[in-house]
Each structure stands twice: as C-alpha cells, then as structure tokens.
C-alpha cells in the first residue's frame, strides 16, 4: 500500500473550494476529546490516531438529523474502503457523549468513531456553523483528510445537498483505496 499516492489522488479528486481556515498543507490542530465507537466511550487524541495512518476527520452539525444521519450512513458504507486504504474515519459534532454513543451504534453502524467537537476544536478548525452571522455552537459540515505527519491534505466544504453525500463518499473512498485519480475524476463529472 502506498499512502502518499493514495492521499494525493484523494486530494485532487476532492479539490473543491474550501472556506475552512485549516487549508491543505497546514498542520491540523491536535486535540484530545471524548469519543464513542460501537456505543463505548473512549478518549480520542488526533495525534495518536495519526500514528495508525491517515485520518478522514469530518465535522457535522448534529447527530440524528436527516442530513447528518445520511452522511454518517454514507461513511459507514464506505468505511471498509477507507480501511483498505489504511485510513481512519472520525466524525465530530458538538453533541454530548450519550448522544454520540447512541449515534455510533445506529447511524454509524459501529463502523467508525464519533467524538465531541468542543468549542476549542470547532474554533481551531474554523468550522463554526453560523446563522445570520451568529455562531450556533454547532460545527458546519466540513471534511478534512489529514496525513500521518499531521498535514492537511484536503479541506472540503460540500456545496451539494446531503442526499448526494452517499454517492460522493462512496466514490471518494473508491479513489482513496485504489489511487486511480483519472477514474475518480471521470466518475464525478
């Protein structure tokens, strides 16, 4: 497995305008927070996760809402492809740990971890969801691919409806897994 070419293919394949402060090439802010996987609570540290390989860190507003549930289900369906590429998927929301534990078993199908996006983490990644210019305390829907060295490979703020997320994540995982950038680009046109 060649992680750098795979990450490069993903970076090109998902190159959409990003408005997140943490841009490709920047060092991702490290954090420690509480997470849940398969209903079990644990302490999640980004640096420790990166020792295992690249991380797909995706922020979403709130568990058990239609768009966020659809996105989690899409990531759950694509998790085997991300794992085949050596990547770990982690969802981040400002929800309390009890809600995250429940979400990790239901919409995440116990296939990947979700963790609490504290106000500090939301600020660090500049992913605050705003309504009428005012921060809501929630995270905006934003995904980052972070290389094992802690550098951000891609930052993606999707501009399409949540229902298309299932197709996008499936294709993104396929490109990530096989590193075939030209096939991925053809599929997304």
Task: Provide the annotated active-site residues.
Answer: 68
Which of helix, strand or coil describes residue 146?
A: strand
Q: In sequence order, what are the residues at sequence separation of 6 or more whose Cβ sits closer than 8 angstroms to the Cβ of residue 178? A: none
Q: CA–CA separation, 155 vs 20, rounded Å?
A: 7
What residues does 42 pair with on adjacent strands? 35
Which of helix, strand or coil describes residue 124?
A: helix
Cβ neighbours of 93 (radius 10 Å): 25
Q: CA–CA separation, 25 vs 155, rounded Å?
A: 10
The answer to whether the CB of 16 falls within 8 A of the CB of 144 is no
DSSP class per residue in 85-118: TT-EEEEEES--HHHHHHHHHTTTTTSSEEEE--
> HSE (CB half, 13 Å, CA atoms) of 68?
23
């Amino acid at each position: 497995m060649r992680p750098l070419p795979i990450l490069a293919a993903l970076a090109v394949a998902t190159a959409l305008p990003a408005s997140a402060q943490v841009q490709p090439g920047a060092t991702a802010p490290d954090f420690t927070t509480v997470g849940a996987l398969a209903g079990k609570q644990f302490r999640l540290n980004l640096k420790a996760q990166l020792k295992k390989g690249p991380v797909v860190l995706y922020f979403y507003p709130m568990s058990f809402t239609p768009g966020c549930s659809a996105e989690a289900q899409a990531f759950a369906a694509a998790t085997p492809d991300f794992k085949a590429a050596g990547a770990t998927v982690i969802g981040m929301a400002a929800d309390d740990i009890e809600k995250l534990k429940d979400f990790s078993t239901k919409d995440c199908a116990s296939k990947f971890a979700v963790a609490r996006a504290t106000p500090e983490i939301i600020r660090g990644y500049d992913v605050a969801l705003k309504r009428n210019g005012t921060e809501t305390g929630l995270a905006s829907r934003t995904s980052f691919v972070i290389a094992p060295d802690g550098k951000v490979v891609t930052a993606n703020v999707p501009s399409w409806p949540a229902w298309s997320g299932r197709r996008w994540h499936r294709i993104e995982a396929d490109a990530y897994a096989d590193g075939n950038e030209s096939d991925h680009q053809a599929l997304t046109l």
